[in-house]
Amino acid sequence: MDSVAQRLSAVGAGAALELRGVTRLFGALAALTDVTITVRPGERRAVLGSNGAGKTTLFNCITGDFPPSSGTIRFFGEDVTHFPPYERIRRGLRRTYQISALFPGLTVQDNVYLACRGVSRGRFSFLRPGQNDALMSAADNLVQAVHLTGVKDQRVAELAHGQQRQLEIALALAGAPRFVLFDEPAAGLSPTERAELVEILTSLPAHIGYIIIEHDMDVALRVVESVTMMHNGRIFKEGLPQEIQSDPEVQELYLGGGHE
Amino acid sequence: MSLAHDARVTVRPAAAAQRPKLRGWPEINNPAAWIVAAILLIMPLIANGFFLIEIFATTLILGIMALSLMFLAGYGGMVSLMQLTIAGFSAYMVAVFGVSGNANISLGWPWWLAVPMALALATMFGTLGGALAVRTEGIYTIMITLAIGAAFYYFTNQNWAIFNGHTGINTVATPHFWGVNWRADIPFYYIVLAVAALCYFAVEYISRAPFGLALQGVRDNPRRMAALGFNVNAHRVAAYAFASFVAALAGVLQVWNYRQISPGSVSVGACIDILIIAVVGGITRPIGPFIGALIFVLLRTFALDFLVKLGLDGNRFRLLIGLGFLAIVFWSSDGVIGLWQSWRQRQRSGAARSSGRHGQGSGHG
C-alpha cells in the first residue's frame, strides 16, 4: 500500500470495509489475487480497471455472491467473510448490478417495496400492507427519489433501459444503507440520465459511503474522493482522483489506450 | 435492526408522496366472478347428486391440489410433482388415525382429532420434501419431487402395517355432528366449496402480501433477492409448507369423498394429472387450476361416452386429455386463462381501433 492509501485508512479499526488478502479462484484462474483494501465510513471511491481486471469479482466477494477463496472481509469491524449475502445486506451493505437484476414480472412499486421489506422485519408476513404501511411510504419516497413515480404501477419488463438503471439504484438504497457498491450504474445511460445519476450520487447522505465501478471518467471522478486502479486481479494503484488521472503508468494502462 | 430507524435514506425530500392505492380484490369489480359465485352457491338447486359430487365436488378437490402446485410454480417458479402425494399422505393419515373398516390399522380417533393430526403430519411431510427440493433448480426439482411421489406410491403398496398394502384402507368414517351427515351430497358439496373458496382467497391474498411478493421475487431473480436481504431458501421452504397445507386439506376432502384410500390414488400417473390440470388451466392465477380441474373432470367423465359413440375404445379418454394438453401448451403458454385473456385483448384492441381515438387511452395496457 502506498502512502495515500495509508492516509485514507488512518482510521484503522473504524473502517467501513476492510479486505485483507482476498483471493478468488475460478478453477485455476485467479480473478482476484491478494487484494487488500480499506474504506472509511462515508468514503466514496471509484474502482477503475480494464475488462477482466476483477472489479465485479471484487464486488461479488464483498457481498458474498461468490465467497472469497481466501482472505478476510470485515464490514464495520465485523468479520463477514463467511456470512451469506442476506446477512451482509441486513447489516447495511448494498449493491447494484452491472446488468440490471430486477423483478420483471412485478411493478416498479413492488420491486422497491420488496427491497424495503428485505431489510426489515416481516419478510414472511401473510398480511398485505395496509393504507398506512410505513414501508409502503418508504418505497414511495424511493420511487420518487429516482424519478420513477410516473411509472410506479407499470411492470418492470415494460420500462426503458434508463428507467431500469434508476430502479436498480433505488433497490440498493432501501432501508438504512451504510455502504453501497455501484457496479457501472451509468452503463447505457444518455447524457441527461448521467447528469441525473451524478446528482443522485452526490446528494446521498454523507454517512453513506460507496465504491463505484465506472468506465465513464466524467461520472466516476466527479462523485468520488479516492480511486483504486485494478489490473489482472490485483490492486495496481490507489490515490486521489487527480493523482490517478496524471499517473503515467495508469495513463498507459487504462486511459492511454485510445479510451478517451 | 436498530439501524432501520436512525438513517432512512431520502435522497430528495419526498414532499407529497402519493399514498399507495388500496390493493383490493380484483374480483369485486368483476360481474362474471359474482355470477360464478352465485351459481356455485345455488348449485344444489340446479344439479343432481351425481353432478354435485362426481363433477363439481371432485373438480373443486382436484382444483385445490392443483392450486397448491400453482402457488409453488406460478409464484415460486418451483414445479413440484409431489402435491398429490402430500394430499394422499394426508388422506392416509385421516384413515389411519380416524375410524375405518380396517380396525386393525385405524386408531379410531374422532374426526376432529384425526384431521388436525393428518394436516400437521402432511404439512411436515411436504415441508421436508420441499427442504430437499429447494437445493435444486428447474428439472431437478421436478425429478426430486417425482421421486418422492414414486417412492411413496411403492411404499404404500408394500407396507401393510400402516398403509395396508395394495388394498388400502376402506370404509373410512366421515363426520356426523349437529345431527347432520356431512358426507351427504349437499352438506359435503358445501364443505368442499367452503374449503376451496378459503384456499382460493388465501392464495389470492398472499400473492399481494410480503410473503407472496417475495416469493415472486425469488422466482424472478433469486440472486437479487439475497442481495436485498432475503434468505431465499428459507422463503422457498416456507412456500412448500404453505402449499403442503393446502394440498393436505384437499387430501382430507378426497378421503371423505371416496371413503377409501389406496395406492392407486397416489400413483405417479395421478401426480402428473395434477400438473396437467394446473398447466391446462393456467399457472399464473389461482383461478386457473379450478378451470383446469373442471376440464379434466368433464373429459374424464364424458369422454368415455363420446369416444364410444365415435366407435373408439372408451378407455382412451386420456388420449383426448393428452391432445387437449398438447393443443393448449402449443397455443398458449398460460393455459386456458391465457387463451381467454389474449382473446379479450384482441376484442378490446379491435374495439379500440374501430372507435378511433379511444384506442390511445388503453393502448399501453
Dump pLDDT digits (tens) for B53-84.
Answer: 888 999 999 999 999 999 999 999 999 999 99
- Collapsed DSSP state (helix, strand, coil) of residue B252: helix
**Contact across the interface for A90 and B8, Cβ inside 8 Å:** no
**Contact across the interface for A85 and B227, Cβ inside 8 Å:** yes
Q: CA–CA separation, B263 vs B169, rounded Å?
A: 10
pLDDT attached to residue B233: 92
Backbone φ and ψ of B246, nearest 5°: -60, -45
Q: CA–CA separation, A167 vs B254, rounded Å?
A: 47
A205 to chain B: which residues are within 8 Å by CB?
A: 7, 9
DSSP state of A65: S
A213 pLDDT tier (thresholds 50, 70, 90): very high
A124 to chain B: which residues are within 8 Å by CB?
A: 210-211, 214, 235, 238
A166 to chain B: which residues are within 8 Å by CB?
A: none
Q: CA A167: distance to chain centroid? A: 14
A16 in contact with chain B, both atoms CB, cutoff 8 A: no
Q: CA–CA separation, B66 vs B280, rounded Å?
A: 11
Q: Which residues have CB under 8 Å from B30's CB, separation 6+?
A: none
Task: State whether the Cα torsion A236-A239-A245-A247 is positive or negative.
Answer: negative
pLDDT attached to residue B333: 72
Q: Which residues have CB under 8 Å from B77's CB, separation 6+?
A: B218, B219, B220
Q: What is the ipTM of this complex?
A: 0.83
Q: Is the pLDDT score of A6 beyond 60?
A: no
Å between B29 CA and nearest CA of chain A: 19
Proportion of chain A above pLDDT 90, given as a percent: 30
**Per mean pLDDT, which range of A4-8, A252-256, B64-68, B85-89 is the poorest?**
A4-8
**Per mean pLDDT, which range of A2-11, A16-25, B11-20, B249-258 is the poorest?**
B11-20
A62 in contact with chain B, both atoms CB, cutoff 8 A: no
Dump pLDDT digits (tens) for A65-111.
Answer: 888 999 999 999 889 999 999 999 999 999 999 888 899 989 999 99
**Contact across the interface for B9 and A86, Cβ inside 8 Å:** no
Residues in chain B predicted with pLDDT less than 70, given as ranges, are: 1-28, 314, 351-365
What is the pTM (predicted TM-score) of this model? 0.83
DSSP state of B228: T
Q: CA–CA separation, A214 vs B303, rounded Å?
A: 64
Take residue A16 and report the three cell numbers written for it: 467501513
Q: Which residues pair with A37 in a beta bridge?
A: A19
pLDDT attached to residue B245: 97
**Contact across the interface for A113 and B213, Cβ inside 8 Å:** yes
Q: CA–CA separation, A22 vs B22, rounded Å?
A: 49
A65 to chain B: which residues are within 8 Å by CB?
A: 223, 226-227
Tally DSSP H helices, then E strands, for chain B. 18, 2
pLDDT attached to residue A88: 92
**Contact across the interface for A173 and B211, Cβ inside 8 Å:** no
**Contact across the interface for A123 and B217, Cβ inside 8 Å:** no
Dump pLDDT digits (tens) for B304-345.
Answer: 787 778 777 767 777 777 887 888 878 777 788 888 877 877
A131-156 exposure pattern, b = at least 16 Cβ within 10 A, e = fewer: eebebbbbbbbbbbbbbbbebbeeeb
Q: Which residues have CB under 8 Å from A83's CB, separation 6+?
A: A64
pLDDT attached to residue B135: 85
Q: How many CB pairs under 8 A join A and B?
A: 161
Determine the residue of chain A that is closest to B235 in CA distance: A124
Between positions 175 and 234 of A, the ones with CB within 8 A of B are: 175-178, 200, 203-205, 207-208
**Contact across the interface for B9 and A205, Cβ inside 8 Å:** yes
